[in-house]
Every structure is written in structure tokens, then in C-alpha cells.
Structure 1
């Protein structure tokens, strides 16, 4: 019996690259993807790279067809491609920017899943793992759009898993917290920034950078993905890393008001200079 075949989107760096590497070490034949493919990438990789734009129906169809042509089957799809907007107020992103982040983070995964499902259904076998985030169950102020894409992914994945179980296909979510990777360095800036939020943005940017200093490496998430991929009877949700596990526990068992207070305290929202200025003005 030949190797199991995996596709990992967004595999040029960070979580995607680490996941592809660890799956390859676990015995999978892995096809990673990025918009540029293997162009200008390291030749030391243990997996193949494909050019794939998850926002393009044609690109997705072509990449999946190529893997099927080369290998004859696809056993695992890991949807990791995505991007975020740097911490900013929701109203600082235009509708166009909101649509763009959904087109990659959510609809990109939907396109990939729709492309592999006919093949997986025919074989009555397959595994789909969607890289979500703790922000899929704990909304983060000033990251509303990214949180929204992950909430959408969570609902879609849970419903899809229920649909596909009887056809031999399982869908799981992997939910990390802060991860030290190029993802955060490559976040977009809000395209309609407002002076009202300038101090808040600066304070949040500093707080996130401090949190990332002690964050887990991408390999922690990759290890979780490999464990999920090899589990005979997978669950729908898996947290990845100690912080993600604690947040999941709090979300399930702590009163909502305490969770909200904890989020605000962690981000130091009520001690931000701009917040103090507004509070002072309102009290006068």
C-alpha cells in the first residue's frame, strides 16, 4: 500500500510549512501550496510545493486535479491558508477588505473542500482538518473580522462533519492561540484607519508583540494536526497549546462576564490612553 497523500494550503511558512514537514516525517506524501508555488523557495523541503491561489476557483480545481493525476488519490486536506488585519477597530476596514479576508480565510477553505469532496466521497474515505483559532470561540476586540472568519469556519466545519460521517469522511478543527510565526508580521493594515483609534492601535500592537514573545512555535500546531490526522475516531475540535486549552476550558465553564473581563484585562483595553481620555471627557 502506498503513502497517504496530503494537501496543505498556505505551506510557504509558519504553521503550514511546519505541518507539511511533520506530515512528511509521519509518512505522508505531502503537497504544500502557496500563490508562488516553489518559486524562490528552499530546495531542502521534504514536500512538494504547488502554485495555488485559494481565492480562485480555477486555481483550486487545477491544483487538486494535478495531485489526483500524479497520485490517484487524496487522503488528507489541511486548510491553513489565511491572513489577518493588524489589531484595529472593525470600522477601520472597508467592505472590500472585509470581503478579501473572508474570501481567503473562509471561502478559500470552502473552495478546497468542494474540490476534494467528490473524490473522497467516491472512495468513502478522507480527512479534512481546518486550522481555526481560539478566536473562533473567544472573540477578540479589535480583531473582529479575523474572529468572524474563524467563527464562520467553526460553524461550517461542525455542520460539515455531521454531513460526511456516514460517507467515511471526517472534519476536524485545530484551534491554537498565539503562535510565533510570520503570520503576524504579514498582517494587513486597516485600509480606512481613523485618528480616533490611533493610540489604541499602538497599545494593542505592543501588547500583541509582548504576547508573541512567549508564544508557542508553529511546530506545536503541526504536532496537533498530525495527531488528529492519525486518530481513528477524531473529534470535531482540538485546541493546540496550553493557552488555547485554558481558554477553551474558561469559555465552556466560566460565566460570560468573567471571560469578557479576562479578555479586556489581557489586552489592557481599559487602561489604554485613548480609553482614559474618552472616559475623562465623558465625566466632565
Structure 2
């Protein structure tokens, strides 16, 4: 993999940083996407290998365009950047919270993916991994025994991940003829600063990152257009 290049958005901390670390350990050149130059450079220094800082704010078109000018060739894009700013159900969530959440978790993915497509098309094995959430699964959120609370908490975040899952299918279908593999990952609850629930958990980000790396390095006969858990098992849409 020494001639392969990856970009991980939101990679200066949490799961994204661990994905970047594991890809770099596998021999890839890894662009560490970060809005904050100082935190991004610190992450690059800690990751080591051929990790490179890429200033990137997926909610800013100018930032995305400038980042794309620095990346001529790309084999792997991991859309990891995401936010969770409101823990409430839909009935108690201000519409602005939905807008802000979707701006990063949905529109940011579309903006970054479309801009970096030209670089990905130069790859013989282009891969896109969207970091979703099991809480975005409609199958796991409904039925007589749903895995997640029936109160519908985290409505903005969860619905944004449901939308991201749909985009995963649409990109996989649109890019299949070009040899792309596009999949979504449910990383499981991990100890990150995503929100207070995640911060209080004991889940290891490295375990989730390993699932993302498997999807990033899929062989040519690997799946596309699928929603998979960190351990490789299918997740219902």
C-alpha cells in the first residue's frame, strides 16, 4: 500500500484520528483533514508515518476547493467529520440545530466527495467510506424491540446519519461502473467528544477505526453500497 493515498476528514481527534493512524501504519500516505491547523499538526506529529496535514472545513466551499488543489491523486476518502450538537427528540429540537447538523454530516459529505472525485477517478481502486451510526438505522430504531430508545432522542444527529446512509447507496450506484467501492460504517459507541453520551462511554475508537480501514482497503471483489458494523456484520438500513 506504499503507493496509495488516503484522506480522512475530521481526523485531528477521535475515531478519525485513529483511522488516519491505522492507514498510515499500513503504509499509506494519509492526509489528516482538520479545520484547526494547530490541532491538526499535533495529530500529524502523533500519527507519524507519511501523515500530512490538510486544512479542511467540509462546511466551507473555499476550504474544500483549496484542499483539493493540494491532493492530485487519491485512492481512499473517509468521510468521518461529523457533529452532534443536540440530544433532544425532534419535537424539542430547534430547526437551526437540524440545519447545523446536516451542514456537516450530510451536505459536507456531498461537497467533499464531489470535489475529490476527480482525484479518486485517477485511482485503480477508489474507495469511499462514510462514517455513519447505528442510531441512523431505521431497522434498529423501529419494531417491537428497537435497539435504540423509542423516545427519538438525538433526532438531528440520527436523521442526518439516515440521510448519509441513503447517499451511500446513491454514490455506490452512480460510481459502480468506475470501480468504486462506497460503503457506510456503524462504528458503535466510542469514547470521543462527539456528545456527552459518547464521552461517558468506554468504547475504544481504535476498534471502530479498524472496521473503517477494512472498508478503505477492500479488494476488488469486496462489497459496495452496504451498511456494515465495525465488526463487519451487516446493519439494517
Q: Same fold (TM over 0.5)?
A: yes
Give the total of aligned pairs: 219
1:174 aligns with 2:162: no
1:234 aligns with 2:222: yes
Moved more, 99-108 or 29-38: 29-38
Question: Residue 93 of structure 2 corresponds to which residue in structure 1?
Answer: 93
The answer on whether the counterparts of 2:188 and 2:208 sit within 8 Å (CA) in structure 1 is no
Tell me by how many angstroms 1:91 deviates. 3.1
The answer on whether the counterparts of 2:24 and 2:47 sit within 8 Å (CA) in structure 1 is no
Question: Residue 41 of structure 1 corresponds to which residue in structure 2?
Answer: 42
Tell me by how many angstroms 1:110 deviates. 0.5
Instruction: Give per-residue Cα distances to partners, 1:120-164, cap 9 Å, x unaligned.
Output: 335564111100010121345111111111011101111210111
Structure-1-length-normalised TM-score: 0.70
The answer on whether the counterparts of 1:57 and 1:111 sit within 8 Å (CA) in structure 2 is yes
Cα gap change, 1:245 to 1:168, in 2 (>3 Å): closer
Higher radius of gyration, 1 or 2 = 1
- 1:144 paired residue among 128, 138, 155: 155
Give the Cα–Cα distance (whole angstroms) in 2 for the partners of residues 51 and 119 of structure 1: 17
The answer on whether the counterparts of 1:178 and 1:216 sit within 8 Å (CA) in structure 2 is yes
The answer on whether the counterparts of 1:54 and 1:109 sit within 8 Å (CA) in structure 2 is yes
Tell me by how many angstroms 1:41 deviates. 2.4
The answer on whether the counterparts of 1:78 and 1:128 sit within 8 Å (CA) in structure 2 is yes
Unpaired runs of 5+ residues, structure 2, are: 142-147
Give the Cα–Cα distance (whole angstroms) in 1 for the partners of residues 188 and 46 of structure 2: 29
The structure richer in helix per residue is 1
Query: What is the RMSD computed on CA atoms of the aligned residues?
Result: 2.4
Give the Cα–Cα distance (whole angstroms) in 2 for the partners of residues 82 and 106 of structure 1: 9
Question: Residue 9 of structure 1 corresponds to which residue in structure 2?
Answer: 9
- 2:57 paired residue among 34, 53, 72: 53
Question: Residue 195 of structure 2 corresponds to which residue in structure 1?
Answer: 184
Give the Cα–Cα distance (whole angstroms) in 2 for the partners of residues 27 and 164 of structure 1: 26
- 1:221 paired residue among 194, 208, 220: 208
